[in-house]
Amino acid sequence: MVQNPPIYASISISFEWAMNDFSSGFHPPAVPGHETKLSAEEKQPAARCEWDFSLATVVSSTAKATVSDTLGVIEFDPSNTILATGGIARKIRIYTLNSLLRPQEETVHFQGEHQSIAFLDHTNACGNCIFTPAKLSSLRWKPGTGGRILGSGDYDGVVMEYDVETKVPIFERDEHGGRRVWSVDYSHSDPFLGASGSDDGTMQMWDPRCGEVGGSVAKVQPTKSLSSVCCVEFNPFGDALIAAGCADQKAYAYDVRKMVEPVHIFDGHTKTITYVRFLNAQTLVSAGTDGCLKLWNIVDSRLLRTYKGHVNSRSFVGLSVWRHGGLLGCGSENNQVFVYDTRWGEPIWVHGFEPMGRDSSDHHHAFVSSVCWRQVNEDQCTLVAGGSNGVLHVFVGKRKSDSE
């Protein structure tokens, strides 16, 4: 049985959200054929940015930020008009996108070179707040509920579902033995079916309609050593797959109809895999504390491309894919947000979280800890990023014209 990862206390702002390298130190040999693929991509043209990104809004707290403000997860609801955030402050904040992009007249504005940046306070910008019994590591809106039900996973190993209108929990399961739940997700083909990954080394699927304890319908242990399961995601494109990323440096895909052995294994990272995201029906993106994002062909588990540039050696820094635009977003331990185009291995845009306006907290020790794309519109985009100091940044992007 693996032990809980030790807590780093050397950096005051980030030790709560830091995730140590769970690995044993063993680095698997390169998978045959991978090096050939990577050398081929070196011959590709240099990355180019086809988007104009700008910072639209900064949301912070009037009071000096503390470690308890760390934002660990950001999620848009199915309508892409409501935003939920969570972290170690034991609260879920709900925002409307209009309140962030169309601030009221009393909001202070900073006139940039080509833009107007709005500075808001969490208290005024947040339309709804749900207090939770434990620190949160994951949030996911439940499909088919009209944005009313929000699932969460917490540091105490509990999965809960909240009614965001009444602000009360309507479902609770504690089947991970008190070990931290890193990730939760829901099936899009059957929204009652949920999954969670935990420090106990298991991925569990559950259904509140089932009469068994916690509604358990399946439980798998991807690794014999019970390496932590740090992320889970159902395939949203109709295939009966669920992916899990683990501390053993591998990602696994299972057929939800027969949760026995993985049908695909993605082996190429050299440290813990922190996130897995389906880009489309054919490809999967993974992130690891080796400072890399990787794009995989699902059918044959083949590595297609590696993305490097951001700094990530110990923490959850977020990963989000904008499926309409083919863009990847992630945070970085040097307090920057990175955007990659899936066609190139280098970032196409980088923005630092510099102190501005009310953001005067412990900036030197902060890092970008969560990101989320709004999944609409192919020619305009919205990326929301949160920091370990509790500051929320809203970026907007517009595709450049052919003449630019």
Q: What is the pLDDT of residue 212?
A: 65
* CB atoms near residue 60 (< 10 Å): 26
Q: What is the pLDDT of residues 120-150, one digit of tens each?
A: 999 889 999 999 999 999 999 999 999 999 9
Q: What is the pLDDT of residue 215?
A: 85
Q: Is the pLDDT of residue 107 over 70?
A: no
Q: What is the pLDDT of residue 379?
A: 86
Q: What is the pLDDT of residue 103?
A: 59
- CA–chain centroid gap for 47, Å, is 24
Residue/partner pairs of 149-153 with CB below 8 Å, 24 or more apart: 150/75, 150/84, 150/92, 151/184, 151/186, 151/194, 152/86, 152/92, 152/184, 153/181, 153/182, 153/183, 153/184, 153/196, 153/198
Query: Please, are residues 273 and 230 in contact by the beta-carbon 8 Å criterion?
Result: yes
DSSP code string of 142-164: PTTSTT-EEEEEETTS-EEEEET
d(CA 121, CA 61): 5
pTM score, whole prediction: 0.85
pLDDT band at 37 (very low <50, low <70, confident <90, very high): very low
Contacts of 42 (CB under 8 A, 6+ apart): none
pLDDT band at 374 (very low <50, low <70, confident <90, very high): very high
Q: What is the pLDDT of residue 377?
A: 76
Domains of the chain in start order, with CATH, are: 51-103+115-355+366-399 (2.130.10.10)
Query: Please, are residues 280 and 288 in contact by the beta-carbon 8 Å criterion?
Result: no
Q: Is the pLDDT of residue 210 over 60?
A: yes
Q: Is the pLDDT of residue 60 over 80?
A: yes
State the average pLDDT over residues 7-16: 29
State the average pLDDT over residues 331-346: 97
d(CA 124, CA 158): 30
